[in-house]
Amino acid sequence: MIRWTHITITVAEFERSLEFYQRVCGLRVVRDRRREGGGTIWLGYEPRAGEDPSFVLVLMEGEVTNRLDHFGFQCDSREEVDRIAVEAASRGILVHAPQDSGGSVGYWTIIRDPDGHMVEFTFGQPLKGLS
């Protein structure tokens, strides 16, 4: 069986990106390979007791030469999407104000991380039921 486990992006400054992904996206450091002699930091959600993360975002420090289209994060409410958009607007990183596209797209907003990667926050766009 093949499983999708991670996405790796290049970031200009570890600390700046760590602050963004931890505070805004709710991720935490699950492995800091800098302490192991490597050059990456792995971020994910807190796994349940006795479990490992099923998917991680890997940060690699260097010159940012390529950007992906966007990351997607699911929120528990429209209000959470709105809160993120208000904070992003105050920081000058709001790309697309909250919009309700209905159907399987739901309510969403897009912001930029410190290196220009776009990050989407949605409500009503769950993966459950896909096949």
pLDDT of residue 131: 52
pLDDT tens digits for range 49-103 = 888 888 899 999 999 998 888 888 989 999 999 999 999 999 999 999 999 988 8
Mean pLDDT of 21-28: 95
State whether residue 117 is helix, strand or coil.
Answer: coil
* Residues of each domain in the chain carrying CATH 3.30.720.110: 70-131
pLDDT of residue 51: 84
Distance (Å, whole) CA 94 – CA 11: 19
* Residues of each domain in the chain carrying CATH 3.10.180.10: 1-62
CATH top-level class of 1-62: alpha beta
| pLDDT exceeds 90 at position 121 | yes
Q: Count Cβ atoms below 10 Å from residue 45 Cβ, excluding itself.
A: 14
pLDDT tens digits for range 26-51 = 999 998 888 777 789 999 998 888 88
Mean pLDDT of 10-23: 96
State whether residue 34 is helix, strand or coil.
Answer: helix
Distance (Å, whole) CA 8 – CA 4: 12
Tokens in use for 70?
């966007």
Distance (Å, whole) CA 104 – CA 102: 6
pLDDT of residue 130: 56
Determine what percent of the chain falls in helix, strand and coil, rounding each to the nearest 5: 20, 35, 45
Amino acid at 38: G
pLDDT of residue 29: 93
| pLDDT exceeds 60 at position 109 | yes
pLDDT of residue 87: 96
* N-term to C-term CA, the chain: 17
> In terms of DSSP bridges, do strands 6-11 and 40-44 run parallel, antiparallel, or are they unpaired?
unpaired
- DSSP H helices, the chain, are 14-23, 78-91
For the domain made up of 70-131, give the CATH fold: 3.30.720
